[in-house]
Structure 1
Amino acid sequence: MKPAYEHVEFGENCSVRVYHRRLPRIPFEWHHHPEYELTLTLNSHGKRYIGDSITDYVDRDLVLVPPNLPHTWSSNRSIDAASPQVAIVIWFGGDWARRLADVCPEYAPLRNLLRRAASGLAFGPEAGAAMHMQIDDLLSGEPRKRLAAVLNVLCILGGASGEPLASPAAFSDRGEGPSGHEPERINRVLSMIDLRFAEPLRLSELCAAANVSERSLARYFEQHMGESVGRYISRVRIGHACRMLAHTSVPIAVVAARSGFPNVAHFNRQFKALKALTPMAYRKQFAAGDMAGMDADPLIDERSPSLQRKPGRVMPAV
């Protein structure tokens, strides 16, 4: 079975992404992504699949998954049936973590942790309990507080014992999406959009960047991003507009133009459709302190669209 490619969105102001997942049952969703993932699973029993490792897991299961290694959890029961099953998921990039370890001796354990995590690591219940003690800061609304908590957890794990999970054979298909090249093509398109979102963007230019047809690009976006090309571009533009509205006093027409909307009326319609507010109302409420955190950064309990479950979409069972 080919793993789905998950595009993890960090937002403009974050170097780590924390996701507070709560649901009646954790489904089988075989996927991969280019970030490290640290997952603490609570109130749940079931099977854990990391590469070619298939293992039973219990409460406070704590696992570090390396980039592009396919993985999923699949629960069979809750410990407390009256409460949701919970996963605290942390995504982060290895490059900045290694650089931090190089320049700050206090964070030297990060280097050792990432080296040991090459095949995935399952930690003991003591490590799971240590991360659980940090849960308030990990789920804080302040990005800096979340980052500090993540660094504390990672440094603790740097000195904790962990069981390697996947065998070398599991790495033969790492980094591949459904065709083996789609994530690379999608990333080229995303880079172009991020650089040129304020300009008129033609579908033909995006297709040329990915070397695919318009039909294929549309299919790749629906598969990997969970939304259309046009909607993704709109979200990028509206996210930029939100930051300008919150942190500058430039006129709405200038915000629209600098965010890729030369027509103010169209900008107002698109903004209200996505934020349920007009740009002016957004600016006023943000200035009044009612909407701290309503900028482009993803919410703690909001999943990236690429793996959102859609009506009628059934994930494979095991």
Structure 2
Amino acid sequence: MHGIEDFSLTYSLKYTLMKLMFEKILPTENSSWRYWLYKRESIEFNWHYHPEYEIALTLNSQGQRYVGDSIEDYHEFDMAFLGPHLPHTWCSSAEKEGTPQQVYVAQIPVPWLESLVFGMPDLAEFKPLLTQSRLGIKFSTETVKKCAKVFKKLQQATASERFIGLITILQLMSKDDGRQTLASQGYNISVASDASVDKLDKVIRYIYQHYSEKISAQTVAQLIHMSTNHFHRFFKQRTEQTFTQVVNQLRISKACSLLINSKMPITTISDSCGFHNVPNFNRRFLQFKQMRPSEFRRIYAGKSQVI
């Protein structure tokens, strides 16, 4: 997962790859799957994948969620169900009042979960959920809040109680008619064998690392050895957004975090988020948020939701 309170206490063994981090999951003691709670001031960008299913519930946090070729803002109550090998990360800034951000994680081995779901008629209702998870699924706020209550109880639960809690969470997710898939239908999650996934991973990481600088499609195209025209087609096909749209979306999301959690002048925020031109920053902000930065700060600064 992302953001680790105390690395020495986790059950994760991470191996850094050139483009993507592979995470090896070991089950929680006396359990067939892994349950963990992370508490962090902020969540660092950590683009990674693993062969397990994952349920990730994020509270008291807002930032960006990256799943496959999906890049979206997330807010105080966010939960996703991720299928095996699906690249993902969350990323956030520290909250203004220093409220710890919480990430509850369930990481479930494929053979174990699928033997339950496909081997027991009692759990057949979970089959569509597992199929959809290959693209990642997000859930309605109502369902997230219900699942949060279950996750919190698991912190002090026995292994058998945690198993019952996991089934309860899966049931709540399966009954959510408002759930939505995240990655595009054509997204190929065969990370190890699909060269285009490697290229997209490299582009996303580069955008994240350089969003505050002048960044051009030509530069990124050269990075993955494509012509600029080919790159534009490649990127739009796999993200359903243009390169410029994705860059501006990330910049505006970062600006929102700074407007809410800092007292930096708007001109400084504009520059630190890569716009270097306040009128252009105002136009882009209005385009994405339907209001000006000053209005956004006035409405949202200081507001928080605690479950």
TM-score for the superposition, normalised by structure 2: 0.54
Report sequence identity in percent.
31
> Contact between 1:46 and 1:77, CA under 8 Å: does it hold in 2?
no
Deviation of the 1:107 alpha carbon: 1.8
Deviation of the 1:15 alpha carbon: 1.1
- What residue ranges of structure 1 are gaps of 5+ in the alignment? 181-317
Indicate the residue corresponding to 2:154 in structure 1: 138
Does residue 73 of structure 2 align to residue 56 of structure 1? yes
Deviations 1:6-52 (A, max 9, x none): 01111562112111000100110000000011001000010000011
> Contact between 2:86 and 2:134, CA under 8 Å: does it hold in 1?
no
Query: Which SS does the other structure have where 2:25 is aligned?
Result: coil
Query: Which SS does the other structure have where 2:24 is aligned?
Result: coil
CA distance in 2, matches of 1:4, 1:177: 16
Higher relative contact order (CA 8 A, sep 6+): 1
Does residue 112 of structure 2 align to residue 93 of structure 1? no
> Contact between 2:28 and 2:35, CA under 8 Å: does it hold in 1?
no
Query: Which SS does the other structure have where 1:118 is aligned?
Result: helix
> Contact between 2:54 and 2:107, CA under 8 Å: does it hold in 1?
yes
Does residue 143 of structure 2 align to residue 127 of structure 1? yes
Query: Which SS does the other structure have where 2:64 is aligned?
Result: strand
- What residue ranges of structure 2 are gaps of 5+ in the alignment? 1-17, 198-273, 275-307
> Contact between 1:46 and 1:58, CA under 8 Å: does it hold in 2?
yes
Does residue 182 of structure 2 align to residue 165 of structure 1? yes
Does residue 74 of structure 2 align to residue 69 of structure 1? no
CA distance in 1, matches of 2:117, 2:135: 21
Indicate the residue corresponding to 1:269 in structure 2: none
Shift in CA distance, 73/136, structure 1 to aligned 2, threshold 3 Å: closer
Shift in CA distance, 48/13, structure 1 to aligned 2, threshold 3 Å: same
Structure showing greater Rg: 1
RMSD: 2.7
> Contact between 1:137 and 1:145, CA under 8 Å: does it hold in 2?
no
The counterpart of 1:150, out of the listed 163, 166, 176, is 166
Deviations 1:130-158 (A, max 9, x none): 11111333223411111110111011111
Worse-superposed segment, 63-72 or 166-175: 166-175
CA distance in 2, matches of 1:58, 1:158: 22
CA distance in 2, matches of 1:152, 1:47: 27
CA distance in 1, matches of 2:60, 2:78: 10
Shift in CA distance, 35/8, structure 1 to aligned 2, threshold 3 Å: same
